[in-house]
Amino acid sequence: MMLQLSGVHAHYGSIHALHGVDVAVQVGEVVTLIGANGAGKSTLMMSIFGQPRASAGRIVFDGEDITALPTHEIARRGISLVPEGRRIFPRMTVIENLQMGAVLGEEMNFAVDLKRMYALFPILEERCTQSAGTLSGGEQQMLAIARALMSRPQLLLLDEPSLGLAPLYIKKIFQIVRELNREHGMTILLVEQNAHHALRVAHRAYVLQHGEIILSGTGSELLASPEVRAAYLEAGQKTETAA
Amino acid sequence: MATLVLATHTISPAARFKDAVAVAFIALLLGIPMIGLTTVDQGGTLRVATRWPTLFAFVAVAFAGRLILRFAIDQFKAHQLTRERAVDVTTVASASGRAASPLLTWVGWAALGVALTLPIFFSDNRYVVDTATTVLIYVMLGWGLNVVVGLAGLLDLGYVAFYAVGAYTYGILATQFGWSFWEALPVAGAMAATFGVILGWPTLRLRGDYLAIVTLGFGEIVRVILVNWTELSGGPNGIASIPRPTFFGLELKPPGDDPTFASFFGLEYSPSHRIIFLYYLILALALITNVFVSRMRKLPIGRAWEAMREDEIACKAMGINARNVKLSAFAIGAMLGGFAGVFFAARMGFISPESFTFSESAIILAIVVLGGMGSQLGVVLAALVLVLLPELGRDFAEYRMLLFGAAMVMIMVWKPGGILAHREPTMRYVAEGDSR
């Protein structure tokens, strides 16, 4: 087991956002968490990083209890995050952003990793000396993913990577998620509102509602489940065709 | 796939030096018969006399001139090359505001040239050199605070505390224990850095307005302690007769028993020696600060400062220890402020808490903000404006500060990001040869 959350509770100020959540991620899997706005998806993701810290329960990564570790120590264990809203460093150049992502890596690997990222995201090579803030939303998302990959993580957390992107970019992002997993063997935990795309790429999935897991299963099981269809897919499909 | 190399000058400094030596040698060969030897009419007979000092000056000028010329040519070539390559490889990147940088580089070098030669042109004008020294103190303080505010994004309203710590450390060490300027300088820097860490600890979780208020309080605490701890700091009376810095052990004072600067070099004593020496001293300190800070920016720690300014949570998620990064910014900023404080104490010969009030912090912060956060050259321009404006405004008597305030408002209206809001990338990659 690569990552195991058991009975995790989390609070945002006085709001009790997670009510004892159990989530597991195995090596080589893509696991996705779907749910409506405010279901606690991002809270769950960030609580793995101790932001906010889990108020009860245990988070174990690679056999080690990381529940109480400081955020940067958790990153050092080999977890990398693509945060919600991308959170790139806007006034720094694309290449400086990638250097920041490589802070934990060996210096000698930097050039190799940079080339790998440029191969994966050619647009980043074109823009390498531009300030990251001047990139388009989709390009920024790619930069955020590339930045997270620069540390050669064992586990990649993707928090709403398709948020606010044009349909073409959404497709591209999910292609990359698939490629990273199927070709490079990257283990990925993906939080998405875009249930349709997320379930298709995921091996397993959890449905989160009001801070609790109400359903789990393989991606195709959930895609076929009438409850999921009614709650997350039909509406999602409609807005997608409308957009 | 592009091979990545850092843009370099076309000729190394060593090669440039060799070139200049060769030119100087030719100048010497030509100069011996043409300048070094001359004939004089002495009692009806012609005799050969020598003029070695003139020859030496001639050779020195040729050497320096060649060095400067080569350097200028290389700079120009390097810029052209960088641009051509950049356009070749990344058309998009070259369009994104890097065009402004060669001009700024030239402005920077020109400013350095003016700074280096200023006392030569105004050697008999004490007022000008004194004012320039004040400007340089603020430039140095601005560069120090720039690390904290401009790079790390930590709003510090109590920076003057570190300036005071540096000044008092030197004042006490010199008057109580007989330390010299050069001995006290590193100790005072370390002391100020320690205070930086002490201030940093409790503020680690604070940001923005809250951090500003706590740092403001810290600045006041230091000042109030200096006023009240009379045994240590002399209280409101301050510390007087602080020794001046020496030039490698030679004092700059009227001739006495010990060898002085003037007697050692066989010069006639003039009070302007000390003024000019102090000017060059702060210029050297400021330049070291500048080089130091620009080097730091290119190191991982400097990048971490800037990333911390941009997004703290993202930084932590990259595995960066936010505590260490913030404390290092506080410590280094404080250390530079401490150095400036030592110089201030040595220049004035007298310090009291009155020199370290909140308004000093405000002026230093204004220099950083007006200059454009994080911009080194911007700090110089802003320091010039903020120090010279009140000086130039002396004719307006009581309206002076009004004009000063109005000018500050105008700058912020006209340039909301500061005089130089453009951020220099820490690294320039150019692709070598045919890359795509």
CATH code, domain with B337: 1.10.3470
Asked if A126 and B307 come within 8 Å (Cβ–Cβ), the reply is: no
How far B410 CA lies from chain A's nearest CA (Å)? Answer: 25
Domain that holds residue B345: 124-421
Of A87, A115, A129, the CB nearest to B425: A129
Q: Measured between alpha carbons, how far is B139 from B364 in angstroms, rounded to an integer?
A: 9
Residue B428's pLDDT band, with cuts at 50, 70 and 90, is low
| Amino acid letter, residue B348 | M
Together in a domain, A159 and A190? yes
Relative to beta strand B37-42, strand B45-50 is antiparallel
- Average pLDDT of chain A to the nearest whole number: 90
User: Cβ contact (<8 Å) for B317 and A88?
Assistant: no
Q: Is position B110 within any domain?
A: no
Q: Does B306 sit within 8 Å of A103, measured CB to CB?
A: no
Distance CA B309, CA B328 (A): 14
CB contact under 8 A, B310 and A99: no
- A64 and A165 inside one domain: yes
Q: Is B15 within the bounds of a domain? A: no
pLDDT band at B325 (very low <50, low <70, confident <90, very high): very high
Q: Are B368 and B380 in contact (CB under 8 A)?
A: no
Residue B139 lies in a domain: yes
Q: How many CA atoms are closer than 13 Å to the CA of B105, on its beta-carbon side?
A: 11
In this structure, the answer to whether residues A13 and A92 fall within a common structural domain is no
Q: How far apart are CA A69 and CA A71, in angstroms?
A: 6
Cβ–Cβ below 8 Å for B318 and A104: yes
**Residue B307 counted as domain residue:** yes
Q: Which of B69-78, B84-93, B133-142 has the highest mean pLDDT?
A: B133-142
Which residue, of A107, A137, A152, is where some domain finishes?
Answer: A152
Residues A126 and A177 in one domain: no
**Candidates A72, A76, A111; nearest CB to B4:** A111
Contact A80 B427 (CB under 8 A): no
Q: Which of A162, A149, A138 is nearest to A32 (CA)?
A: A162
Domain holding A207: CATH number? 3.40.50.300
Token couple for B127:
């007022």
Given A103, A115, A131, which is nearest B320 (Cβ)? Answer: A103
A88: chain B residues, CB-CB within 8 Å: 311, 314
In terms of domains, do A236 and A158 share one? yes
Residues A123 and A13 reside in one and the same domain? no
Whole-model pTM: value is 0.78
Same domain, A117 and A223: no
pLDDT given for residue A236 in this prediction: 47
Q: Please state, in angstroms and rounded to a whole number, the distance separating the CA atoms of residues B222 and B218.
A: 6
Identify the weakest region by mean pLDDT among A60-74, A79-93, A137-151, B3-17: B3-17
Which DSSP letter does residue B351 get? B
Q: Is B400 on the interface with A (CB under 8 A)?
A: no
Bridge partners (DSSP) of residue B38 are B49
Q: With respect to residue A83, please indicate whether it lies within any of the assigned structural domains.
A: no
Q: Is the pLDDT assigned to residue A123 strictly greater than 90? A: yes
Phi, psi of A184 (to 5 degrees): -105, 0
Tell me the HSE value of A227 on the side-chain side, using a 13 A CA sphere: 12
Using a pLDDT cut of 70, give the percent of chain B over it.
90
Neighbours of B358 (CB within 10 A): 14
Worst-scoring range by mean pLDDT, B35-39, B338-342, B366-370? B35-39
Residue B350, helix vs strand vs coil? coil
Look at residue B238 and give its three-state secondary structure.
Answer: coil
In chain A, the number of structural domains is: 2
B32 or B366: which leads in pLDDT = B366
Average pLDDT over residues B382-402: 81
Residues A118, A139: one domain? yes
CA distance B2 to chain A (A): 9
Of A49, A89, A104, which is closest to B307 when you measure between CB atoms?
A: A89
Residue A240, pLDDT > 60, answer: no
Cα–Cα dist A92/A85, whole Å: 17
Same domain, A159 and A140: no
Does residue A208 belong to any structural domain of this protein? Answer: yes
Distance of alpha carbon A120 from its chain centroid, rounded?
A: 17
In a domain, B264, yes or no: yes
Residue B243: inside a domain: yes
The answer to whether position A112 is within a domain reads yes
User: Higher model confidence: residue B324 or residue B396?
Assistant: B324
User: Who's near B368: CB < 8 A, 6+ residues apart?
Assistant: B142, B145, B146, B149, B150, B379, B382
CA distance A71 to chain B (A): 6
Instruction: Note whether A161 and A232 are same-domain residues.
Output: yes
Q: Please give the ipTM for the structure prediction.
A: 0.88
pLDDT at B21 over 70: yes
Chain B interface disruption, residue of A84, A129, A154, A158, most B CBs within 10 A = A129
The answer to whether position A44 is within a domain reads yes
Chain A residues with beta carbon closer than 8 angstroms to that of B98: 129
Domain stop point among A152, A175, A193: A152
Q: How many CA atoms lie within 13 A of B259 on its CB side?
A: 10
Cβ atoms within 10 Å, residue B295: 10
State whether A226 and A175 are in the same domain: yes
Q: What is the mean pLDDT of residues B263-269?
A: 79
Instruction: Please check the confidence at residue B346 and state whether its pLDDT lies above 60.
Output: yes
Residue A66's pLDDT band (boundaries 50, 70, 90)? very high
Tally the domains of chain B. Answer: 1
pLDDT for position B10:
52
Structural domain range at position A26: 3-78+154-242
Using CA coordinates, name the residue in chain A closest to B310: A89
Rounded Cα distance, B6 and B8, in Å: 6
> Within a domain: residue B410?
yes
- The answer to whether residue B371 sits within a structural domain is yes
B118 touches chain A (CB under 8 A): no
Closest by CA to B272, choosing from B124, B426, B397, B402, is B124
Cα–Cα distance list, B424 to A206, B96, B173, B215, B382 (Å): 45, 12, 40, 28, 18
Of B86, B423, B427, the CB nearest to A95: B427
For residues A25 and A126, membership in a common domain is answered with no
